[in-house]
């Protein structure tokens, strides 16, 4: 598989080698490393991890394209659905974006908030990567008028004081370090990363601890099936704690998560017997997570049933679950497209808008692979668009 991937440049390879040396040292000192810990090191090690270093990640020049990178329609739809919530919550309401990416979403969203006359008191961006934070700051400083940029505030940890407003996360949960498990002779094993006799990374299985084993058995009970020997997949036993950590202080408001994934019964289909883990390198997806650590984005699809359970355990109620296509259509995509089409400068811009809609909504693009889940807490009424609620598929969870 790796032979079909582009070769890294000398600087990139040296960067990966530095992280690899650190991984080897840690494994030599402490023994085999749980895959979730390996994934965390590859993505978030300061100065060396995929999201913590200076390489371009998003857009045509990076490794993948997210919905906000396609244009402004996605952000306009999110604003259409969330600004009535901010209005209802009053002048102290904030908007919190988890992981600001390139800053494309924040730019489009703030312009859209200004256009509807509802700018949140603060537009918060929770961004642990110093490199990405600086890129976002530069982009927004150039793209926004000073009075709009003044609303933006970067955070390196979730708010500690109670707050009201909207929390939004696009393609965040798929990048949470995931636990890999397998079944051997009916017992649960966890996947680890260790070194072979020549110091190369390799994966091995070890008996799972009570937390991981319990999470896997919970899945089996919920889908009323037993995993067969050799079945391998992912589970996020830490998801309830993560939701509580990032949203525990949201006293009243809405959470919106958009990501690729499945309901639990589809996530753990018998034929999906090697899980959903993928690596992304220069717009190529592959299944070798040990290849060039630090240069690949490592992701796993989201179990949206697990997300619903985690939200419920943190005191939120599921307010809606639907495909990205249904979410965008229910959030005014048609009107947003028509307005942008009329304002387009030329035929090329109109063509790009049409392509943007196709990529966002077609089943073989992002439309069905990506899902949207909304949670609410502390609100007597949740002012969501009627067309969005009509598309709710919460019964599938």
Predicted model pTM: 0.94
Q: Is residue 78 situated within a structural domain?
A: yes
d(CA 16, CA 174): 22
Q: Is residue 123 situated within a structural domain?
A: yes
> Mean pLDDT, to the nearest integer, of 315-323?
97
Average pLDDT in the chain: 93
Q: Is residue 22 situated within a structural domain?
A: no
> Quick one: angle between helices 304-313 and 239-247, nearest 10?
50
Q: Is residue 280 situated within a structural domain?
A: no
Percent residues over pLDDT 90 in the chain: 82
How many structural domains compose the chain?
1
What dihedral do alpha carbons 70, 323, 305, 257 form, nearest 10°?
Answer: 40
d(CA 317, CA 329): 23
Q: Is residue 217 situated within a structural domain?
A: no
d(CA 371, CA 259): 6
Percent residues over pLDDT 70 in the chain: 96
Contact 21, 48 (CB under 8 A): no
Instruction: Note the pLDDT tens digit of each residue in 146-199.
Output: 999 999 999 999 999 999 999 999 999 999 999 999 999 999 999 999 999 898
Q: Is residue 17 situated within a structural domain?
A: no
Contact 188, 213 (CB under 8 A): yes
Q: Is residue 77 situated within a structural domain?
A: yes
**E strand or H helix at 22, and its extent?**
helix 10-30
Query: Which candidate, 136, 90, 95, places its Cα nearest to that of 113?
Result: 95
Q: Is residue 215 situated within a structural domain?
A: no
Range of the domain at 320: 67-175+241-264+302-396
Query: Which candidate, 198, 202, 196, 245, places its Cα nearest to that of 35?
Result: 202
Contact 106, 136 (CB under 8 A): yes
Instruction: Note the pLDDT tens digit of each residue in 2-56.
Output: 447 778 888 888 889 999 999 999 999 999 999 999 999 999 998 888 887 655 4
What CATH number should be reported for the domain holding residue 106?
3.40.50.12710
The angle formed by the CA atoms of residues 152, 156 and 158, to the nearest 5 degrees, is 90
């Amino acid at each position: 598989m790796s032979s079909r991937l582009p070769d890294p440049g000398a600087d990139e390879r040296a960067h990966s080698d530095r992280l690899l040396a650190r991984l080897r040292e840690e494994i030599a000192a402490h023994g085999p490393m749980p895959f979730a810990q390996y994934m965390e090191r590859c993505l978030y090690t300061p100065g060396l991890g995929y999201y913590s270093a200076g390489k371009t990640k998003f857009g045509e020049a990076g490794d993948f394209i997210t919905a906000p990178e396609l244009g402004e329609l996605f952000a306009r739809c999110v604003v259409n659905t969330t600004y009535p919530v901010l209005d209802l919550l009053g002048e102290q309401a904030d908007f919190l974006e988890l992981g600001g990416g390139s800053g494309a979403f924040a730019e489009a969203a703030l312009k859209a908030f200004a256009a509807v006359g509802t700018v949140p008191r603060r537009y918060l961006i929770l961004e642990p990567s110093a490199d990405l934070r600086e890129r976002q700051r530069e982009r927004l400083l150039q793209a926004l008028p000073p009075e709009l940029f003044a609303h933006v505030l970067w955070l390196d940890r979730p708010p500690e004081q109670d707050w009201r407003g909207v929390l939004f996360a696009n393609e965040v949960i798929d990048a949470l370090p995931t636990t890999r498990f397998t079944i051997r002779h009916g017992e649960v094993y966890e996947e680890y990363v260790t070194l072979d006799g020549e110091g190369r990374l390799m994966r091995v299985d070890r008996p799972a601890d009570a937390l991981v084993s319990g999470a896997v058995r919970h899945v089996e009970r919920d889908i009323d099936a037993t995993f067969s020997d050799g079945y391998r997949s992912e589970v996020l036993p830490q998801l309830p704690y993560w939701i509580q950590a990032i949203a525990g202080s949201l006293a009243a408001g809405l959470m919106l998560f958009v990501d690729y994934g499945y309901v639990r019964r589809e996530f753990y289909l018998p034929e999906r017997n090697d899980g959903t883990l993928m690596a992304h390198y220069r717009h190529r997806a592959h299944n070798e997570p040990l290849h060039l650590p630090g240069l690949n984005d490592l992701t796993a699809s989201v179990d949206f049933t697990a997300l619903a359970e985690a939200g419920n355990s943190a005191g939120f109620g599921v307010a809606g679950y639907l495909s990205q296509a249904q979410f965008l259509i229910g959030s005014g995509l048609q009107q947003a497209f028509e307005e942008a089409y009329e304002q387009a400068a030329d035929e090329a811009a109109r063509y790009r808008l049409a392509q943007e809609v196709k990529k966002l909504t077609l089943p073989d693009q992002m439309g069905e692979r990506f899902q949207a889940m909304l949670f609410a807490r502390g609100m007597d009424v949740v002012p969501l668009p009627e067309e969005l609620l009509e598309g709710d598929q919460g019964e599938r969870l």
